[in-house]
Chain A
Amino acid sequence: MEQFLQQLINGLAVGGIYALIALGYTMVYGVLKLINFAHGDLFTYGGYLGLTLLTSLALQGRVGTAAAVALLVLMVMGLVGVMGVVLERAAYRPLRESPRLSAVVSALGASIFLQNALMLLYGARVQVYPEGLLPQVAVSLFGLQVPLLRILVVLASVVMMAALYLFVQKTKIGTAVRAAAIDQGAARLMGIDVNKVVSLVFLIGPALGGVAGLLVGLYYGQVNFTMGWIYGMKAFTAAILGGIGNIPGAMVGGLLLGVIEALGAAYLSIAWKDAIAFCVLILILIVRPTGLLGERVAEKV
């Protein structure tokens, strides 16, 4: 029982990160029907930019921990968001009228470009965050070890998901985003600047991915230039699991995937952890092709 609960906590903490990255996938897919394969690499840039800002601005020790983290989050969100907008302009917008496959290939190309650029800029070695910025305190609850940072990671993802959900559902710009997601042509006729909406989506999605990269760097203390691939795959799976295009779905999918992996590792085999997670994905897609929270959209005839 103790091991079960501990694994549940482990899984939720990893799942929180998956969820945060999955939000970016799901937003872009919702509006453009494009899987942004470069999203995982934008996540990696978040981790690297966070490290560079932390060391070059000498934040550590000069301002308090809370202020340093808040500043880092804001700056990383801004920078990675801008990267996302530039990426869309350079790699996706010129292909918007082309067959969808062209944009997917372009996304894969952008991913390889971003990854190699990072390697050339920072070198191939693992980059390490300075120690001791965040206190590594663990709460002991009924014999379970719950590091405070893990709670922070899950909380941060829930807060950001909620804010994003409210933004899309309750604001005027959010309505424009939803309109563009349903039918870009009709939205344009209604006076919505679809290009601006797409830019906005490519600002918010990557910004969230960047924060996830920063959290990974802060918590695990280590970033490497290839880490975007595996996190990207997992987050992509989480988005599909929850119902791609659906914001709460990304959250549910991320947390669920984290828990499935942790329990799969604990009770079946560690080596088969990923295989188990992907088998669950396939099963769910057979039973519910739209994902857990996705709705079946009736095509108008």
Chain B
Amino acid sequence: MNRAMGLALALGLLASGSAGAADTIKIGLMAPMTGSWASEGQEMKRNIDLLAEQANAKGGLDGKKIEVIIEDDGGDPRTASLAAQRLTTKGVVAVIGTYGSAVTEATQNIYDEAGITQVANGSTAVRLTEKGLKHFFRTCPRDDEQGKVGAAAIQKMGAKRIALLHDSSAYAKGLADEINAILKANKQNVVFFDALTPKEQDYSAILTKLKAATPDVVFFTGYYPEAGLLLKQKKQMGWNVPFMGGDAINNPDLVKIAGKDAAAGFQFLSPPVPKDLDTPEAKAYLASYKKKYGEEPGSIYGVLAGDGFTAVTKAIAATKSTDADKIRDYLVNKLKDFPGLTGKLAFNAKGDRVGELYRVYKVDKNGEFVLQPK
């Protein structure tokens, strides 16, 4: 009897607690604030903080203030599943994030079962949206789309012998597989396909083996720290083969790690960074970001997190509801050509972003990322 009463009391407290919290709309941000992708997570936070501040200055959402609740996923699937469980107990109506595909995958079902909309910003692995989860969206494009653009860029270079290198992560392996399949289907000669171990400092053993395969181009699908070291050590070896990379390389630290000389000429795929967009929304956002933080956003994924935030808040404002089904209905059926920070925003029924986003960038001799004509 006592236990039952205690339970009733606890339930009553919980109910009043959540009723008292209803004067704000809580949006969760799950991001790698620590761990090896911490710089990405910190940029995600900057973008979301700025957008929430702007929205609150304009009177908030549906008459209520937006409250951003951050949980650190550490860039690690196990930490992320705990972070997701904590967020579901904090009354958030939607979650933005996260960066890595495997990390997002560990949290998808937790949010889905809790009926919370999730908008990932950097998780490009194909299978994330092929599962048929109703409330999962992403603002970044998928690996298969990037694979097409990557294979086309390689063919455009006229390379005969192609080397593909990944880092065994869900993202990098997925992208390398996509490109490999397209190249094989087009009867191209892939002479090398293997993975390096991320986070090491010395890639001379791998570069020596790559060199022995005599490729015309090396496509590395991993992340910028490794790409920077590969470029630097390739130059130290005195080997002049062109390198290309995927969108996880879009980070200005690449040039710092490799050095300007070694990075010059490197090409990579990426959704366009805000400074290359000429829409008034992107320009205004860039100015406000620079005003608040003193520099331009360095990472495209931080900005894509911002796009997730704008899409969700737009859906809540338009439907005057925080119900996940209504948000889904709005995002899939009503949101068309919405001016996002990285271009036009719209989602298909799987939750994938609609439209071609990828462009080819090239590092010039000053270390700047230059958008190549399509």
20 further contact pairs, Cβ within 8 A, besides A222-B232, A274-B197 = A7-B209, A11-B205, A13-B204, A14-B204, A14-B205, A119-B34, A119-B38, A124-B41, A125-B39, A128-B253, A136-B236, A145-B236, A222-B257, A224-B199, A231-B201, A265-B206, A266-B209, A269-B194, A270-B206, A273-B197
A157 to chain B, nearest CB (A): 14
Chain B residues within 8 Å of A14, by CB: 202, 204-205
Q: Which residue of A11, A128, A221, A230 has the most chain B CB atoms within 10 A of its CB atom?
A: A221
A7-B208, A119-B38, A227-B201 given as contacts; is B238 within 8 A of A145 (CB)?
Answer: yes
Contact with B along A1-17 (1 / 0, CB 8 A): 00100110011011000
Chain B residues within 8 Å of A6, by CB: 208
Q: Is the CB of A224 within 8 A of B238?
A: no
- Chain A CB within 8 A of B35 CB: yes
Q: Is the CB of A271 within 8 A of B194?
A: yes
- Chain A CB within 8 A of B79 CB: no
Q: Is the CB of B208 within 8 A of A230?
A: no
> What is the CA–CA distance of A126 and B259 in the complex, to the nearest angstrom?
13
Chain B residues within 8 Å of A273, by CB: 197, 205
Q: Is the CB of B168 within 8 A of A271?
A: yes
Q: Is the CB of A145 within 8 A of B35?
A: no
> What is the CA–CA distance of A201 and B212 in the complex, to the nearest angstrom?
45
Q: Is the CB of B202 within 8 A of A13?
A: yes
Chain B residues with a Cβ closer than 8 Å to the other chain, count:
33
CB within 8 Å: A-B pair count: 97
- Chain A CB within 8 A of B92 CB: no
Q: Is the CB of B38 within 8 A of A124?
A: yes
What are 25 A-B contacts defined by CB distance under 8 Å? A10-B208, A14-B204, A124-B34, A125-B39, A126-B225, A126-B256, A138-B238, A145-B237, A147-B236, A216-B201, A220-B202, A220-B229, A220-B232, A221-B259, A222-B229, A222-B232, A222-B257, A224-B36, A224-B199, A224-B225, A227-B199, A265-B205, A265-B209, A266-B205, A271-B194
- Chain A CB within 8 A of B228 CB: yes
A234 closest partner in B (C-beta): B200
Per the 8 Å Cβ criterion, residues 129-178 of A in contact with B are: 131, 136, 138, 145, 147
- Chain A CB within 8 A of B196 CB: yes
> What is the CA–CA distance of A13 and B202 in the complex, to the nearest angstrom?
9
Task: List residues of chain B with CB under 8 Å of any chain A CB.
Answer: 34-36, 38-39, 41-42, 168, 194-197, 199-202, 204-206, 208-209, 212, 225, 228-229, 232, 236-238, 253, 256-257, 259
A45 to chain B, nearest CB (A): 16
- Chain B CB within 8 A of A106 CB: no
> What is the CA–CA distance of A229 and B197 in the complex, to the nearest angstrom?
13
- Chain B CB within 8 A of A88 CB: no
A3-B212, A11-B205, A220-B201 given as contacts; is B35 within 8 A of A226 (CB)?
Answer: yes
**Contact count band on A:** 35 or more
Q: Is the CB of B205 within 8 A of A10?
A: yes
B233 closest partner in A (C-beta): A220
Q: Is the CB of A226 within 8 A of B257?
A: no
Task: List residues of chain A with CB under 8 Å of any chain B CB.
Answer: 3, 6-7, 10-11, 13-14, 116, 119, 123-126, 128, 131, 136, 138, 145, 147, 216, 220-222, 224, 226-227, 229-231, 261-262, 265-266, 269-271, 273-274
Q: Is the CB of B205 within 8 A of A262?
A: yes
Q: Is the CB of A128 within 8 A of B257?
A: yes
> What is the CA–CA distance of A190 and B236 in the complex, to the nearest angstrom?
55
Q: Is the CB of A221 within 8 A of B232?
A: yes
Chain B residues within 8 Å of A274, by CB: 197
Q: Is the CB of A270 within 8 A of B201?
A: no
> What is the CA–CA distance of A176 and B157 in the complex, to the nearest angstrom?
67
> What is the CA–CA distance of A42 and B211 in the complex, to the nearest angstrom?
35
Q: Is the CB of B197 within 8 A of A124?
A: no
> What is the CA–CA distance of A199 and B201 in the complex, to the nearest angstrom?
31
Q: Which residue of B38, B195, B197, B201 has the most chain A CB atoms within 10 A of its CB atom?
A: B201
Q: Is the CB of A126 within 8 A of B38?
A: no
B208 closest partner in A (C-beta): A6
B202 closest partner in A (C-beta): A14
Q: Is the CB of A124 within 8 A of B209?
A: no
> What is the CA–CA distance of A227 and B156 in the complex, to the nearest angstrom?
37
> What is the CA–CA distance of A220 and B34 in the complex, to the nearest angstrom?
23
Chain A residues within 8 Å of B257, by CB: 126, 128, 221-222
Chain A residues within 8 Å of B205, by CB: 7, 10-11, 14, 261-262, 265-266, 270, 273
B210 closest partner in A (C-beta): A270
B30 to chain A, nearest CB (A): 16
B250 to chain A, nearest CB (A): 14
Q: Is the CB of B36 within 8 A of A270?
A: no
Chain B residues within 8 Å of A125, by CB: 39, 253
> What is the CA–CA distance of A11 and B69 in the complex, to the nearest angstrom?
47
B251 to chain A, nearest CB (A): 9
A222 closest partner in B (C-beta): B257
A126 to chain B, nearest CB (A): 5
7 pairs of A and B residues whose beta carbons are closest in the complex = A124-B38, A271-B195, A262-B205, A10-B204, A265-B205, A220-B201, A128-B256
Chain B residues within 8 Å of A136, by CB: 236
Chain B residues within 8 Å of A220, by CB: 201-202, 229, 232
Chain B residues within 8 Å of A230, by CB: 199-200
> What is the CA–CA distance of A271 and B238 in the complex, to the nearest angstrom?
24
Chain B residues within 8 Å of A271, by CB: 168, 194-197
B340 to chain A, nearest CB (A): 26
B36 closest partner in A (C-beta): A226
> What is the CA–CA distance of A223 and B342 in the complex, to the nearest angstrom?
32
> What is the CA–CA distance of A128 and B208 in the complex, to the nearest angstrom?
24
> What is the CA–CA distance of A230 and B196 in the complex, to the nearest angstrom?
14
Chain A residues within 8 Å of B39, by CB: 123-126
Chain A residues within 8 Å of B168, by CB: 271
A229 closest partner in B (C-beta): B199
> What is the CA–CA distance of A293 and B236 in the complex, to the nearest angstrom?
35
Q: Is the CB of B194 within 8 A of A270?
A: yes
